[in-house]
Amino acid sequence: MPQGNGAGIAFDASTGEIRGNLIACNSTMFGEAGGIMLQGNAIPGESEIEVIVANNAIVGNWASGQDAKGGGIHTHATGPWEIVGNTIVANEGYLGGGIQSNGYTQHSVYVWNNIIARNTEYGVDGFFPPYGTMDVHAGYNDLWGNEYDGYSNCPPGQVGEGDLDPPLDPKFTELASGTWAAEATFDGTYSEIEASEVTWPINEFEGLIIDVNTEGAANRRWFGIVSNTTDTIRVLGDATDLADDEDIPFSIMDWHIQDDSPCIEAGTATFEAEDESSHSSPDSDIDGCHRPFDGDGQSGAQHDIGCHEYAYSVWAGPAVGWNLMSLPLSPTYPSPEEVFADLVDLGSTIPNNLYNYTPGSGPGAGYHIYPSAQFTQMEVGEGYWLRLTNVPDQTTNTTVGAIFVDPQSIALSDGWNMIGMPLNAAELWSGCAVTDGTETKSIADAGPAGWIQTLIYYYTPTGYESVKPDGTGDDDSLRPWLGYWLLAYQPGLTLLVPQPPGERLGGGFDAERDGGGRDSGWSSKVVFTVETDEGELPDWTMTFGLDSSATDYFDNDYDAFAPPANPDVEVRMVSYIGGDPEGYATCDVRDGSGTGSIAEMWQYVDILVPGAGRTEQHDVVLTWDITDAGDFDYYLYDTTNQEGIWLDEEESYELTTTGTFGASLLLQAWNPE
């Protein structure tokens, strides 16, 4: 056990920040501060120290011994010190279990928007012999369940304004609970307790909070968890007086507050102290979440008390079948069952129905099912396929996590990338950019430069739809909760998503949203739909078009390569485009400059059945829309079965596919007579 000052962090400087840390289960004997020691060497009257301690979880630290002060934080010397937006829980120390101010000079300490709970001794102590008290200014705190009163030796009239009154349980999120199998043992530093009928992952709870006796006294102390085995918990300090028998109930928590916490919206953006000084609260929390967030949805956005800003996003668009989706926030609990907790409660099964995607063609590329070694948790910025079989009307799913407002970046690989919108508000696709690390190009310029295909795809219950930077796609924006397919033509690129405008928004497919036609100005087009005998629709329709500005090769302004099919699609119709780049397309526009009767001919039109080595047969029905064919006539020829039809004379065509390469077709556009 260390014997110096500041077992977690010893800060001895004139300026600086201690921000966004977990400072847990540190201990010192005879020194000061189990968690953070703030000490400076400024000369009174000549210089001042300015240090901010913000957005930290300070958990389960121990300053032991009669002279060891400040279990969580101890301030010493000149100051001023700002302590804001922290969660200071389960610490043990002399005088101030949470925060203790003491030293050889009287100094100012500003304490606001903190949860200071379940510590030994007092929550905040300002003892300063021989002059009486330190210059402590405090407010908008929750000082709940500490061993003694919240404040001690603090100047009257300078503390308490805006505090939760009475102090209330901050309602941390419970991660596990149970009962003890035996009483605790204590070796002078650590206590160990065996739990009944549990099998935990090793050190799953390291650095978290435990109430070892949920039926104990109202002002009982909590502990920080040092480590755990599959069935035992090790805590710093003596827990034998609380866990003194078997069958005593316990609860394990982290520092994230729940949706019913009284700390939501209870803080302040600016702390006005009694000495007429003004202090600004941080604009993010321990997880990087933007502060403030309108956590209760009632009174507008206000800062929360503690290190965690309660924030969430609502997916309003789950649909039966396949959903190409993403997360517009970094989930607090990234397990898919936690992310989709509302859907699980309604009967949805997430395992074996959720897929991520690794770009490339080598080992490990392609789809990975959850759960698997390649897919254990969800992340912001990635796209996912989720298959749902039962979605009642008006179903939504709320996920808690860190919402960002700063610009975000997504690393791209060569080939198809399944990405997500990383922000919780819509952003115009044309407003995004791509960088290769040296040069940055707008989306509109990244296409002609050969960096990316500027048309990207999202998915609706009827198949893929497009987003184009010129606004001629089915939509013009990236939206929360939707996933997208983006094709990069080279490695080492990064997509840049700027800070979006507007307030907190929902996301997902909206049947009433329409960004306009994808083929503005074409002289002619025909759109095919393919359906199997089982009634399954493809991921997309197949569009053929004519425009004098297009070519027979890939045109970034007209054509669109086909993204990967969803994990179990049966059939899809594509057109092969040669050249560089080359590949299968869902939209193939050409110039129509053929001579004679035939204005254009698409020779490589294929019905494909994804999946190597498939041998099953499918009866397939093709239908088409020639509303915008203009003066051109279209003729479809089945080279596999050697028969053809004029599209204006029939409404559909039936054929049978066999194997992965299902059927080969030829399409001709005939000039007007």
**What stretches in the chain show pLDDT beneath 70?**
1-14, 29-34, 40-49, 65-70, 77-78, 95-97, 103-106, 127-133, 500-521, 533-538, 570, 610-615, 659-660
Place of tokens 């080359």: 582
Say what the pLDDT of residue 268 is.
97
Specify the amino acid at residue 481. Answer: W
Say what the pLDDT of residue 106 is.
65
Nearest to 380 by CA among 357, 350, 410, 359: 410
8 Å CB contact between 433 and 443:
yes
Instruction: Collect all residues with Cβ–Cβ distance below 8 Å to 50 and sequence separation of at least 6.
Output: 14, 15, 80, 82
Separation CA 199–CA 195 (nearest Å): 9
* Strand partners of residue 593: none
Nearest to 459 by CA among 555, 278, 340, 318: 318
Say what the pLDDT of residue 5 is.
45
8 Å CB contact between 312 and 304:
no
Specify the amino acid at residue 441. Answer: K
Say what the pLDDT of residue 101 is.
75
Say what the pLDDT of residue 32 is.
65
Question: Which H or E run contains 96?
Answer: strand 96-101
Q: Which two tokens stand for residue 338?
A: 């936690």
* Strand partners of residue 88: 58, 116
Separation CA 467–CA 488 (nearest Å): 15
Say what the pLDDT of residue 107 is.
75
Say what the pLDDT of residue 627 is.
94
Say what the pLDDT of residue 49 is.
57
Separation CA 7–CA 226 (nearest Å): 14
Instruction: Collect all residues with Cβ–Cβ distance below 8 Å to 125 and sequence separation of at least 6.
Output: 69, 95, 96, 99, 100, 101, 151, 152, 153, 154
Nearest to 397 by CA among 486, 484, 327, 324: 327
Say what the pLDDT of residue 518 is.
42
pTM: 0.88
Place of tokens 């060569």: 414
Say what the pLDDT of residue 134 is.
75
Architecture of domain 172-257: Beta Barrel (2.40)
Place of tokens 């992310």: 339
Say what the pLDDT of residue 614 is.
62
Specify the amino acid at residue 267. Answer: G
Domain map (residue ranges) of the chain = 9-161, 172-257, 313-497, 524-670
Say what the pLDDT of residue 619 is.
85
Say what the pLDDT of residue 122 is.
83
Nearest to 254 by CA among 338, 183, 179: 338
Say what the pLDDT of residue 1 is.
38
Say what the pLDDT of residue 515 is.
34
Torsion (CA) 650, 651, 657, 660 in degrees, nearest 10: 120
Q: What do you get for the CA distance between the two ends of the chain, in Å?
A: 95
